[in-house]
């Protein structure tokens, strides 16, 4: 899952990026409102973490820009402001959640995972596809009750598929949502990773290739 972090405090931005990468996300970082507005309106993201106090263009304006551009992914606002009127303004601009500084980085991760679950149409903390389970809160996969060993990129790809079960996802869509902006893998790399995931799942009918279209994770029920 690909996350946009917008924070002008370079140290805090770096800490959030490291925490999110450790949690299995791909992360892009912007430090001012103009760059954030452009990135959110032109790139594909699954969620954003947005500071309100930004140079060039404030966070509320950036959020309105995204919504007006048709961006529907969830946004977690970060701010040092704790007045109720500020929260009302944030939700009115299209925010999905609100976190006041100072905060624990683990809470950012947990809130993002909760927002992504809701976006996927599930309030459950464990996503299931047959005998495959993904504990969203812990960021762990298991199959038939046994832990599934995946590389970082395999984990990102399978997590994205688990959030979009029974949908045919194109190679382009998967790449845009699991790789950060500075990475541009070719389709063969993605095919190799999908092949490795399929072998580890040991179920030929769970992760299928739709010729000429992409890939689909079957989730009965």
Return the domain boundaries, the chain. Answer: 2-120, 126-217
Q: Count of alpha carbons within 13 Å of 111, Cβ hemisphere only?
A: 19
CATH class assigned to 126-217:
mainly alpha
- The b/e string for 100-133 (b: 16+ C-beta within 10 A; e otherwise) is eeeeeeeebbebbbbbbbebbebeeeebebbebb
pLDDT of the residue at 92: 86
Q: Count of alpha carbons within 13 Å of 16, Cβ hemisphere only?
A: 30
H/E run at residue 17:
helix 10-22
Q: Is residue 202 predicted with pLDDT exceeding 80? A: no
Of the CATH numbers 3.30.70.270, 3.90.1010.10, 3.40.50.280, 3.40.50.2300, which one belongs to the domain with range 2-120?
A: 3.40.50.2300
Interatomic CA distance for residues 51 and 113, integer angstroms:
18
pLDDT of the residue at 128: 86
pLDDT of the residue at 204: 67
pLDDT tens digit sequence for 62-92: 999 999 998 889 999 988 877 777 778 888 8
């Amino acid at each position: 899952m690909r996350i946009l972090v917008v924070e002008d405090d370079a140290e805090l931005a770096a800490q959030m990026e490291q925490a999110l990468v450790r949690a299995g996300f791909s992360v892009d970082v912007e430090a001012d409102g103009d760059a954030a507005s452009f990135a959110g309106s032109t790139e594909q993201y699954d969620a954003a973490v947005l500071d309100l106090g930004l140079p060039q263009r404030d966070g509320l304006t950036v959020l309105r820009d995204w919504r007006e551009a048709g961006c529907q992914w969830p946004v977690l606002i970060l701010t040092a402001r704790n007045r109720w009127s500020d929260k009302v303004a944030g939700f009115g601009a299209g925010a999905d959640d609100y976190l006041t500084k100072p905060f624990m980085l683990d809470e950012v991760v947990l809130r993002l995972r909760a927002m992504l679950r809701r976006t996927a149409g599930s309030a459950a903390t464990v996503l299931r596809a047959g005998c495959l389970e993904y504990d969203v809160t812990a960021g762990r996969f298991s199959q038939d009750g046994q832990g599934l060993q995946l590389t970082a990129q395999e984990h990102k790809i399978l997590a994205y598929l688990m959030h979009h079960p029974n949908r045919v996802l194109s190679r382009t869509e998967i790449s845009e949502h699991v790789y950060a902006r500075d990475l541009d893998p070719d389709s063969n790399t993605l095919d190799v990773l999908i092949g490795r995931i399929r072998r580890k799942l040991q179920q030929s009918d769970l992760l299928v290739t739709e010729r000429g279209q992409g890939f689909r994770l079957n989730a009965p029920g």
